[in-house]
Amino acid sequence: MKDFLLQFFTWWNGQTLGTRFYTWRKGELVGTDDAGNRYYRNADDSRRWVVYNGLAEASAIPPGWHGWMHRRTNQPPGKDYKPLDWEKPHEPNPTGTAHAYRPPGSVLRAHPTVPGDADYEPWTP
């Protein structure tokens, strides 16, 4: 019952009821990624969509699937997909989370540093 209500009232938790109905009627499962996201297309391949596993966050799509979703390739990445040697493993965008980058001196840092001696001497008249 909780899942039904979440799908009925929110769009950011996986899929809405409209997406579930459209996926059930016209969707063809193409594959899944390591995060559990499921990728679909319709019969004539005019629409492609993803049903996220958890929160709907576009940066959670790995590079191989990103290329397929944006029609840079018509071949979905399968088990044979291997990133290039110089590519790092995919990480979702951490902006707005506790893992976001906080530069030195930021008041949002877990342990803000006390500013040390300045590299300059202020002018006094």
Domains in the chain: boundaries: 2-69
Residue 17 DSSP SS3: helix
| Full-model pTM | 0.66
48-51 sheet: strands from edge to edge: 28-32, 38-41, 48-51
Q: Dump pLDDT digits (tens) for 22-78.
A: 888 888 999 998 888 999 999 998 999 998 887 788 888 888 888 889 998 888 887
Average pLDDT of every residue of the chain: 80
As a whole number, mean pLDDT of residues 7-17 equals 65
- Give dist(CA 14, CA 115) in Å, integer: 44
- Give dist(CA 23, CA 70) in Å, integer: 19
How is residue 10 written in tokens?
């929110």
As a whole number, mean pLDDT of residues 113-121 equals 63
- Give dist(CA 87, CA 91) in Å, integer: 12
Contacts with 48 (C-beta within 8 Å, 6 or more apart), sequence order: 30, 39, 40, 41, 68, 69, 71
